[in-house]
Structure 1
Amino acid sequence: MATLINVFTVEPARQRELVDVLVTATEEVMRHRPGFVAATIHAGAEGTRVVNYAQWENADAFRAMLTDPACQEHLRAALAIATADPQLYTVESVHHV
């Protein structure tokens, strides 16, 4: 499994707009791509951050998504609103109550 943690920095007045762009991208495009597992969008309480936590079956599935023109269109829309710091991680440990 590959986990994307993408931290966006955004002006507080545009945080809701960015959340809406990411939710739409996930619902309309990303979740239909091969290897997509799940995604959660988090709005920071201070208003300047949005985090996209997404899981893919593997890093190759994530990289293939990046080359898809429909996905690129949504990524450009998000980057027109905010800056991003996307990083891929491997899940090393999971804990539940």
Structure 2
Amino acid sequence: MTTIDTETDVTTLINVFTVVPERQDELVDLLADATEETMRHLPGFVSANIHRSRDGERVVNYAQWESEADYEAIFERPDVREHMDGALELATADYHLYDVALTDER
């Protein structure tokens, strides 16, 4: 389950894909399939949340892993590379790892 909390010890990936609006749904479907078929079964996977921008030009993957090492290990897997190569055929990606600095609720 996704937990956004300064006390939770997880590694957060935020990956912002830039895509042409006509291909946004295709990218969302590819990322959803990758999550269901592969990512959720890998060691250290916690959660993935796919967001689509209302203008159709971006897709954001907010994912959590138990550790940075768990996240980095996924790139050694051919099945993960296959999914990521497919995503990069549709869009450009800007991804970084984050720690939660603040949460505030009303």
- TM bucket (normalised to shorter chain) is over 0.9
Listed as ranges, the gaps of 5+ residues in structure 2 are 1-9
Question: TM-score scaled by structure 1?
Answer: 0.95
Name 2:48's counterpart in structure 1: 39
User: What is the rounded CA distance, in whole Å, between the counterparts of 1:12 and 1:39 in structure 2?
Assistant: 22
Percent of aligned positions with the same letter in both sequences?
A: 55
Question: Which structure has the larger Rg?
Answer: 2
Tell me the C-alpha RMSD between the 2 structures.
1.0
Name 1:50's counterpart in structure 2: 59
> Secondary structure of 1:80's match?
helix
Listed as ranges, the gaps of 5+ residues in structure 1 are none
Name 1:16's counterpart in structure 2: 25
Shift of residue 68 of structure 1? 1.1
Is the counterpart of residue 94 in structure 1 residue 103 in structure 2? yes
User: What is the rounded CA distance, in whole Å, between the counterparts of 1:58 and 1:90 in structure 2?
Assistant: 11
Q: Deviations over 1:46-85 (max 9, x none)?
A: 0000000000001000000121111010000000000000
Shift of residue 96 of structure 1? 4.4
Match 1:61 to one of 67, 70, 79: 70
User: What is the rounded CA distance, in whole Å, between the counterparts of 1:50 and 1:81 in structure 2?
Assistant: 11
Query: How many residue pairs align between the two structures?
Result: 97
Match 1:74 to one of 63, 83, 86: 83
> Secondary structure of 2:72's match?
helix
